[in-house]
A and B are shown apart, each in its own frame.
Chain A
Amino acid sequence: MKPVQLKAEVMRNEKLSSDITRLTMMARDIADIAKPGQFVMIRPTSCYDPLLRRPFSLHQVTGDGLIEILFKVVGRGTRILSAVEVGEFLDVVGPLGKGFLDSSRENICLLGGGMGIAPLLFLAKWLVSKKTGDLNFNIVVLLGAATDSEILPLLDDFEVMGLNVKIATDDGSLGYHGFVTDLLSKNLDPDNNWIIYSCGPYPMLKKVAGISRDNNWQCQVSLETIMACGIKACLGCALPKSESMKLTDTQPYAHVCKDGPVFDAAEVKWI
């Protein structure tokens, strides 16, 4: 489906913590065609500084035309966006990129770290709606963050679907005290055939990719790079591909905005 550019009215601006914002926008043409794992590019201002659009994963998409993004304030663009008011309009382009792919595996694990939790809610809803009636499937959700305030506001959204959610925090304020990746061996029976869907900081994804490879699990990761265009026009979002990918293709780089942001972990050259 082709992406669109539209003016999206801000319907809700929720402060989930001191630096985490959730924006709900009316963007029917995007909501109608979006898939979990896809992203949007939003202009933080109509002026020319900061100049470029900012990429955000789709956090939730509803049947009545609403889209949501969840983000942390890390710089100027996100600070401006965190202060938009209900009724303002944002210039949004999307949905962009390739999202998560369905898998025939019945044991599904969603693993999110920090703001990487954002796309997993959309994914969880999609999986739950798809698998309803199929009694054999099993979904485990593992969420990690620096501290409890980054997870608590999101917990309900996962738990209302009846999902089994396990938590890890760096400071031990909620759930397991340590890395969310440690929860994989604690909660996943290695004899089962798992598909891991993951999004979060690069070092975390690298670890998830390694553990998945060692256990012969399928693994799809959502990656970030700096992006100027989001539509494969600038070629700025290059990501090194793994050696195995290179054999079939002379181009050593993938482009995250078009070939991703979701990749099979085996396609990525982890550095």
Chain B
Amino acid sequence: MDLKKAALNVNFGSLQLKNPVMTASGTFGYGEEFSSFVNLNRLGGIVVKGISLKPRVGNPPPRVAETASGMLNAIGLENVGVEKFISEKMEFLRNIGTNVFVNVLGDSVDDYGRLAERLNDTPGISAIEVNISCPNVKKGGVAFGTDPAMVEAVTREVKSKCSLPVFIKLSPNVTDITLTARAAEQGGADGVSLINTLLGMAIDVRSRRPILGNVVGGLSGPAIKPVALRMVWQVAKQVSIPVIGIGGITTTEDAIEFLLAGASAVQVGTANFVDPRATENIVEGLQKYLEDNNLSSIKEVIGKLIL
């Protein structure tokens, strides 16, 4: 066999990832929190906690609840705000030697545009990931991510305000996710990432009260993997831009499933809480998988599902 190491690198247009393993927004803090467990430099990229124009305080507790092979969260998008993010978190992120994706969220189309503009001027950012699973305050609180027209409008606005690659992070709480995926492509997105959490709920039968302070929350973890995989497969067939697969990815095999289904990269979320080294383990696992199967590049896996 060729002595050269099998290649894990993937490219999204001009953006190069040393491997397809990234972290999912909201599960990896601002990177620094994991620096004593993971060699951040070995990851394909990290996606930071969602950032808004102004700081957000988040929801009242309890904010998390464990469920069968998964968890619910209703953090309420607590974050330090874009200015504090740039002044306090970017210094560390600029020096970790991997791609930094900044996840953004807003109340209006205009908010997203202003965030894109502000981040475009900030050195050290590789791409913007747009969380559209938030209510559009100006449109009666309907989530942007459920309406293809709004998805296209947000994408267009963000693209027009920055020159960075833009990934639209899709919500699974829709009837047909390929419609919002296509709307993002239409709006000029450089890629889509999916899925965000599935809306769920848990009740304490003794008190008869909801467990989460916010009553409902987002389900994540191994429990959602089959749903996420199905959606990634459907979307990958429908769009010609890169797809990043997310949802319950915990092991190397999970990651390979998403790559076979058509994802060019994956994000690891809840698994980081279970094992803070999960991402690095998957990078090592993918390398071994390629070598064990005599493959020279991860590109020989992406989209190679046999039907």
**Are B64 and A226 closer than 8 Å at their CB atoms?**
yes
Find out whether the CB atom of A51 lies under 8 angstroms from the CB atom of B29: no
Question: Beyond the given A4-B36, A5-B275, A229-B273, could you list 17 further A-B residue pairs with CB under 8 A, ordered by the A residue number?
Answer: A48-B69, A48-B274, A91-B275, A93-B276, A225-B62, A226-B64, A231-B34, A233-B28, A234-B26, A234-B64, A234-B73, A234-B273, A236-B64, A236-B75, A237-B61, A237-B63, A239-B61
Name the B residues within 8 Å of A4 (CB-CB): 36-37
- The residues of A that contact B34 with a CB separation of less than 8 Å are 231, 233
A253 in the interface (beta carbon within 8 A): yes
Q: Among B28, B36, B274, B277, which residue has its beta carbon within 8 angstroms of that of A51?
A: B274
Residues of chain B in range 238-283 having any CB-CB distance to chain A below 8 Å: 250, 270, 272-277
Please indicate the chain A residues that have their CB under 8 angstroms from the CB of B273 in the complex.
Answer: 52-53, 228-229, 233-234
**CB <8 Å contact, A49 and B68:** yes
Q: Check B57–A234 contact: CB distance below 8 A.
A: no
Rounded to whole angstroms, the CA-CA distance of A240 and B63 in the bound complex is 12
| Chain A interface, >50% SS class | loop
For window 235-256 of A, CB contacts with B under 8 Å fall at: 235-240, 250-253
- Known contacts A238-B58, A251-B55; is-contact A228 B69 (Cβ 8 Å): no
Q: Which residues of A contact B (CB under 8 A)?
A: 2-5, 43, 48-53, 91, 93, 225-229, 231-240, 250-253
CB distance from B96 to the nearest CB of A (A): 15
Chain B residues with CB under 8 Å of A53's CB are: 273-274
Query: Is B33 at the interface (CB under 8 A from chain A)?
Result: yes
A52 CB contacts on chain B under 8 angstroms: 66, 71, 273-274
B78 interface residue (CB < 8 Å to A): yes
Q: Mark B180-206, 1 if CB is under 8 A from A, else 0.
A: 000000000000000000000000000
User: Do A51 and B58 form a contact, CB below 8 Å, given A91-B275, A233-B33, A236-B75?
Assistant: no
The CA of A247 and the CA of B10, in the complex, are separated in Å by 48
Residues of A within 8 A of B64 (CB): 226-228, 234, 236-237
A246 to chain B, nearest CB (A): 10
Q: In chain B, what residue has the closest Cβ to A93?
A: B276
Cross-interface CB contact of B36 among A2, A228, A236, A240, cutoff 8 Å: A2
Minimum distance in angstroms from A30 CB to a CB of chain B: 12
Tell me the bound Cα distance from A226 to B273 in angstroms: 13
Chain A minimum-CB-distance residue to B250: A48
Q: Mask for B56-99, Cβ within 8 A of A = 1, else 0?
A: 01111111111011110101001000000000000000000000
Tell me whether B66 and A235 are in contact (CB under 8 A): no
Q: State whether the Cβ of B27 lies closer than 8 Å to any Cβ in chain A.
A: yes
Q: How far is the CB of B46 from chain A (nearest CB, A)?
A: 11
> Which residue, A5, A231, A237, A238, has most C-beta atoms of chain B within 10 A?
A238
A233–B273 CA distance with the chains assembled, in angstroms: 8
CB <8 Å contact, A228 and B55: no
B29–A236 contact, CB under 8 A? no
CA distance A228 to B55 in the complex (A): 22
Alpha-carbon distance between A252 and B58 when the two chains are bound, in angstroms: 9
CB atoms of A235 and B36 under 8 A apart: no
